[in-house]
Structure formats: structure tokens, C-alpha cells
């Protein structure tokens, strides 16, 4: 088996990389889990430029504004943008909601919602988790009660990433409280300008504002915004989550951190010699590079399986759990290499690499939770992959 890209894929990677480097400011450094937060207007500009080149939704079918690009090309796109910490990607609209609407949406919903996503004109966010419903998502309590041609929604969603930037939210709400918990749930699209919605910021421990709590107080939404069948939204959500769980970002972010710390260790001297000459530092960086490469190959294996028409369910979970935990180990290793200086944050005078390592280390804990915890992924691997019985 040969692990190499074909000429078209190599050419696309180089063209994309050059475009991003030309478009980003000379002093751009990105940072954190969402580099978009560093400059939201630049994010919007980059997204529109990516859309103009056809890259934003290149993996979509042509009938919906895409290029029918292969999953491998799509993985290259995501890898390069993640490695360069480039703003402009649209995970919620392009990667998650758009493909889900193609499967479960009505023709009216496809005509209404897909073109703005493909043109980079709208920001969506995801309303799944609640204060009392995280990994056990099916226990959610947000209610949607039918009232004529509308649903009236009450409840709250938490950890809503980019909710303060979003124009609309796709959410799960309980429409039949008497049904078993995996049933009686519906998938609904909501304009965030609708009266009765309040977005409250949640500042994380890295002092970043990516999360929010979104509160719904008698929010009236047209029934035509229901995706799929009423009370069958759980199955729509499962489709969407399969699009969410991609592992390529983790290895790309990890490699960028390792490259920066490797360069720092080569240039920084202690006790008269570069840090990189210290045996344990050389060994631990090598181990993390190997793990990043394994995570990268696992992610590309998922893309390859998709290209062959296979459904990589357990493989996607394997990629996600290994990739997210590898990124956490990478961030922790980089903190160890930097020593006590590594604990200094962004903007502090003596912080090496402008405090990016400390920021990534704190955020790396969330990677093992977001998009399905490592424990949930292992259950999927055990049940769907190995056929083991439920505990």
C-alpha cells in the first residue's frame, strides 16, 4: 500500500496553501481552537473568497453549488486551513448542516438554506447540548409545542459555539414528552433574530469567547422549519454528527504546535547549548510527531473509505478519539518543553511563542469532549466496531 497523494491532490494543496498565505496579514498568527475569533471581519472576507473559488463547498454535489470533489481533497482543504490557523472555514453550515439538509431536508429548505451557505453569507451554530444534557443528549428538555402553523420553543442550549456570531441555529427540541427519550425529538431551524431569544456569553479558562448559552422564551418558529419528520429528529441529528466527527484538524493543529516548539527548542539555549540537544526533549518531540502522523493517516483512511463508497462509522470514531487525545498530549508535551515560561499567557512579556502553547493546552481538554466525548467514541467503537455487548 502506498501512502502518497496523486498529482492533482498535491497541486491543489500547493495552490490552496499559497492562496491562504497571500490573503492573510503578514502578522497573522491565529490561535486557540477558533482562530476566527481573532478577527471576525477577516473571517467573513476569507469565507467569501473561498466560496468564490469554489473551495468552501467543493465536496458538495454540483446541483447544490459544489464541485463533487473527493473526500481526500476535502480533507486536504481542512488540513491546510487548520495547520495555517486560517479563518474562513464554516464547520456548522458547510460541513454539518448542508450535507444533512441534502439527505433529510425538503426541497424548499434546500432552495432556501443551501445557497447562502455555499456563498459564505450565513453563519450557523449548533443547539444540541443543554445544562442537563451533554453526552446523554437524548435526555434534553427544550420543548417545542405545536401551535397552529408554528412551534413555540422554550428551554436553553449551552456550549453553543459561535452563537454570538451566528445568524441562525439548528437545534433539537422535544416535541413528544411522553415518548421514549430517543423518540419524540425534532430537528428545527431557527432564525436567531426571532423574538424571545437571548444569547449569553461563556468565557472559557483561556479567556476566549467561543461558547454561549442560548435561552428560548416562547420563541415562535414556523413548522416549515422542521427538518425531516416530527419526533424523528434524533435520526437527523445522528446523520449530522457523523459529518461533525473528522479527525484531520487535530493532527494538523498538533503538527503546527510541534513545528513551532521544535524551532523554539533549536534556537533557545540553556546551559550553553540549544534545548533541542537535551535527550528527553528530542525523544518526547519525536514521539509526539509519530503520534500526529498516525492520527493524520487515520483521518485520511476515513476520507479514503468515503471515496470508496464505504461508511466509516467506527473508523470515524477511532480517528476522533485518537486525534483529540493526541492533540492533548502534544499540547502537554509542548508545555513541558517550554518549562515554567510555558505557563505564561498571551500578552505577557516573557511568554514564549506569544503564549499560544498555554492557550492550546487549556483548550485541548475540550477537544476530548466536543463532538462526542472520548468515552462515547469508545462505546461506538466497542459496540459498532467490535460487536461487544452493552455494559
Active-site residue numbers? 244
160 touches 154 (CB < 8 A): no
Distance CA 209, CA 92 (A): 17
Element housing 232 (H / E) = none
How far is it, in rounded angstroms, from Cα 93 to Cα 66?
13
d(CA 40, CA 116): 18
Q: How many CB atoms lie within 10 A of CB 162?
A: 22
Phi, psi of 289 (to 5 degrees): -60, -40
Please state, in angstroms and rounded to a whole number, the distance separating the CA atoms of residues 202 and 310: 39
How far separated are the first and last CA of the chain, in Å rounded?
Answer: 37
Closest CA to 304 of 76, 99, 82: 76
**CA-wise closest residue to 162 among 91, 236, 225, 99:** 91
Q: Which three cell numbers stand for residue 153?
A: 420553543
Tally DSSP H helices, then E strands, for the chain: 11, 10
CB 36 within 8 A of CB 87: yes
Give the integer Cα–Cα distance in Å for 126 and 240.
10
Amino acid at each position: 500500500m502506498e501512502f502518497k497523494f496523486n498529482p492533482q491532490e498535491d497541486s491543489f494543496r500547493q495552490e490552496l496553501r499559497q492562496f491562504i498565505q497571500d490573503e492573510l496579514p503578514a502578522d497573522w498568527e491565529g490561535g486557540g481552537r477558533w482562530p476566527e475569533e481573532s478577527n471576525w471581519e477577516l473571517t467573513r472576507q476569507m469565507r467569501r473568497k473561498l466560496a468564490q473559488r469554489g473551495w468552501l463547498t467543493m465536496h458538495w454535489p454540483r446541483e447544490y453549488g459544489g464541485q463533487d470533489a473527493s473526500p481526500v481533497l476535502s480533507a486536504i482543504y481542512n488540513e491546510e486551513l487548520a495547520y495555517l490557523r486560517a479563518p474562513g472555514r464554516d464547520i456548522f453550515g458547510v460541513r454539518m448542516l448542508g450535507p444533512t439538509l441534502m439527505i433529510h431536508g425538503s426541497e424548499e429548505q434546500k432552495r432556501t438554506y443551501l445557497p447562502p451557505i455555499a456563498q459564505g453569507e450565513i453563519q450557523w451554530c449548533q443547539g444540541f447540548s443543554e445544562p442537563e444534557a451533554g453526552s446523554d443528549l437524548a435526555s434534553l428538555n427544550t420543548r417545542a409545542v405545536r401551535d397552529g402553523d408554528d412551534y413555540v420553543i422554550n428551554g436553553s442550549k449551552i456550549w453553543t459555539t459561535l452563537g454570538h456570531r451566528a445568524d441562525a441555529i439548528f437545534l433539537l427540541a422535544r416535541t413528544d414528552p411522553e415518548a421514549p427519550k430517543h423518540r419524540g425529538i425534532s430537528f428545527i431551524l431557527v432564525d436567531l433574530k426571532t423574538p424571545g431569544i437571548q444569547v449569553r456569553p461563556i468565557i472559557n479558562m483561556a479567556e476566549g469567547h467561543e461558547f454561549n448559552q442560548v435561552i428560548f422564551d416562547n420563541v415562535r418558529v414556523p413548522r416549515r422549519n422542521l427538518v425531516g419528520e416530527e419526533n424523528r429528529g434524533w435520526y437527523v441529528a445522528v446523520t449530522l454528527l457523523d459529518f461533525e466527527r473528522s479527525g484531520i484538524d487535530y493532527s494538523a493543529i498538533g503538527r503546527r504546535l510541534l513545528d513551532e516548539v521544535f524551532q523554539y527548542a533549536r534556537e533557545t539555549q540553556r546551559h550553553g547549548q540549544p534545548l533541542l540537544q537535551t535527550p528527553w526533549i528530542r525523544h518526547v518531540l519525536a514521539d509526539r510527531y509519530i503520534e500526529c502522523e498516525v492520527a493524520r493517516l487515520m483521518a485520511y483512511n476515513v476520507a479514503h473509505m468515503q471515496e470508496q463508497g464505504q461508511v466509516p462509522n467506527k473508523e470515524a470514531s477511532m480517528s476522533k478519539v485518537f486525534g483529540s487525545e493526541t492533540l492533548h498530549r502534544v499540547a502537554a508535551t509542548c508545555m513541558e518543553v517550554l518549562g515554567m515560561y510555558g505557563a505564561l499567557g498571551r500578552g505577557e512579556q516573557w511568554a514564549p511563542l506569544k503564549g499560544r502553547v498555554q492557550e492550546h493546552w487549556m483548550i485541548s481538554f475540550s477537544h476530548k469532549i466536543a463532538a462526542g466525548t472520548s468515552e462515547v467514541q469508545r462505546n461506538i467503537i466497542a459496540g459498532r466496531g467490535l460487536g461487544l455487548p452493552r455494559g
